[in-house]
Structure 1
Amino acid sequence: MSNPTDKNDQDVIDFGFQQIPKQEKEHRVAGVFHSVADKYDVMNDLMSFGIHRLWKKATVDLCSIRKGQKILDLAGGTGDLTAKFSRLVGEQGRVILADINDSMLKVGRSKLRDKGLINNIDYVQANAEALPFADNYFDCITISFGLRNVTDKQKALASMHRVLKPGGRLLVLEFSKPQHALLNKAYDLYSFHVLPVMGKVIANDADSYRYLAESIRMHPDQEKLRQMMLNAGFNDVKYYNMTGGIVALHRGFKF
């Protein structure tokens, strides 16, 4: 006979530091990103002091993208990585900017069209847990600062593995666990006291940026995420700590 406590544990999930019914998380996360979409890029620059651009450049460099390839920029938001991929794959390649949130996709589409990037980019509203693409389709998948918001991360990683070609690679860029005690303490102070104030002043939304800080703390650390990728079928999984482990870039291959 099953234990009622076990069943309850299976039916709830974290939303920041809260425990909520699992079926509510997607809706709650959607509300966060609908709220911040218009100010998302501005806040990224301010809260990371512009360093997010270096993290994303490192991600692109490790993708080893070539002309003509098919790339999935998952949870791609406002399209920072898609813009870089579009130029790298050229006219014969294809980049799909996918996000579960239509507000973020609209901002991304508008920004990329303003840059004149229209010929090799498609836009798809998609849930990472059930990607609407054929098996063995993409040469490379990236998910940048999006995995922590997914309800079932293990299911999403398996879905990514399915749509990658043999020889393809997945890169996960995500906030992680700082590797030094003093940095970790300073990061906590910044995250829980400064970020919500910035969110209130810039985006008129302190709660969403409080959730951001909490969701980072609830996300699997470097080694745990590496193991999750291995469990999903990826091989040769390695991670690279950046800015003292505030962010980690994981890369795995489908053999």
Structure 2
Amino acid sequence: MREPSRPEVPHEPLTAYYPDESNRRTWLRGMFDRTASDYDAIERAMALGSGPWYRNRALRSAGLRRGMRVLDVGMGTGLVTKEAVAITGDAALVTGVDPSPGMVGHAQLPVGVETRIGSAEQLPCDDASYDFLSMGFALRHVSDLSCVFDEYARVLAPGGRLCVLEITRPEHGLGLAALKFYMRGVVPLIARVVGKKGESVELMRYYWDSIEACVPPATVLAAIRGAGFIDVRREVELGIFSAYCAVKPAT
């Protein structure tokens, strides 16, 4: 456990949505609570139905296997959680945690999955109680990267594996322009057409703004290493989908 220091935020406050860092968590929880009923429909449309395939493949590549005990952090409506159940073969082995009761309440999960309300910075879980920990596209929403990865190391058993999925902004060029056009222009339009909540459009705009403002992959990798993980790596699909993978030392 490292010494307490200034929080390592994933991005500076986005003041177009909330006034300062101290208000970020409250704003996000309220936004996710109110738009939860739209989330799955928007995700299916924006990912063109490829989401389950990618999530399943990423989890397997990170080392998830049948019979492992899994904690899915920032579970939302359970999109990663369901893939974890499919791989482990037993819903009772999988636990989902999220700070938004609205998102958890709209999760359509296999019978046997346990859900808990809690944050990545202070997980409501015992030490060394999971073999695998996943987080799907929620790292941008935490308040302190170092604190989060310390927590992940705490709840994983020795030899446990980590898989954090995130969308990463390309550094420059046509890739950046294309992603920005899609995420800032097309996705909010999808939310307007598919969603039933007006605030879903704002959430999708925030989705891109938080991607654009997020710290680079090197900073995330350094935070993972700083928590004591080994075999730390980043796997990339299409230049934008990052899977941060690592292992907790066995001893």
TM-score normalised to structure 2 length: 0.86
Helix, strand or coil for the counterpart of 2:57? Answer: helix
Q: What is the count of residue pairs matched by the alignment?
A: 239
Structural mapping, 1:91-240, within 5 Å: 91=90, 94-108=93-107, 111-112=108-109, 117-119=110-112, 121-178=113-170, 181-203=173-195, 204-205=198-199, 206-240=201-235
Provide Cα deviations, 1:168-194, integer angstroms capped at 9, x if missing partner: 011010010226621111111222222
Rate the CA distance shift 1:34–1:18 in 2: closer, same or farther, 3 A.
closer
* 8 Å CA contact 2:137, 2:167 repeated in 1: yes
User: Which secondary structure state, in structure 2, belongs to the residue aligned with residue 143 of structure 1?
Assistant: strand
**Cα distance, 1:233 vs structure 2:** 1.6
| Higher share of residues assigned helix | 1
Change (3 A) 1:68 1:29: same
Where does the alignment leave 5 or more consecutive residues of structure 2 unmatched? 1-5
- The two structures, once aligned, show a CA RMSD in angstroms of 2.4
How far off its partner does 1:27 sit?
0.6
Matched residue, 1:251: 245
Find the aligned partners of 1:223 and 1:96 in 2 and give their Cα distance: 29
Partner of 2:67: 68
Distance 1:221 1:50 in 2: 27
Mean Cα displacement is larger for which, 140-149 or 16-25?
16-25
| Structure 1 residues 230 and 196: CA distance shift in structure 2, 3 A | same
Cα displacement (A) at 1:156? 1.1
> What is the DSSP-based 3-state SS (H/G/I as helix, E as strand, rest coil) of the residue aligned with 1:50?
coil
Change (3 A) 1:35 1:254: same
Cα deviation, 1:99-136, whole Å, max 9, x if unaligned, reads 1100110111xx12xxxx213x1010111001121111
Report if the CA contact (8 A) 2:153-2:229 is conserved.
yes
Q: Do the aligned partners of residues 68 and 93 (structure 1) sit closer, same or farther apart at CA in structure 2, a change above 3 Å counting? A: farther
SS of residue matched to 2:67? coil
Q: CA deviation at 1:68?
A: 3.2
Q: CA deviation at 1:93?
A: 5.4
The structural deviation recorded for 1:167 is 0.4
- 1:53 CA displacement: 2.7
Residue equivalent to 1:3: none
Amino acid corresponding to residue 177 of structure 1 in structure 2: R
Task: Provide TM-score, normalisation by structure 1.
Answer: 0.85
Change (3 A) 1:68 1:143: same
- Counterpart of 1:223 in structure 2: which amino acid? A
What's the secondary structure of 2:19's corresponding residue?
A: strand
| Cα separation, 2, equivalents of 1:215 and 1:91 | 34
**Which structure: larger Rg?**
1
Q: Give 1:92 deviation, angstroms.
A: 8.9
Moved more, 72-81 or 59-68: 59-68
- Whether the aligned pair in 2 keeps the contact of 1:67 and 1:93 (CA below 8 Å) is no
Quick one: distance in 1 between partners of 2:26 and 2:13? 13
Match of 2:53 in 1: 54
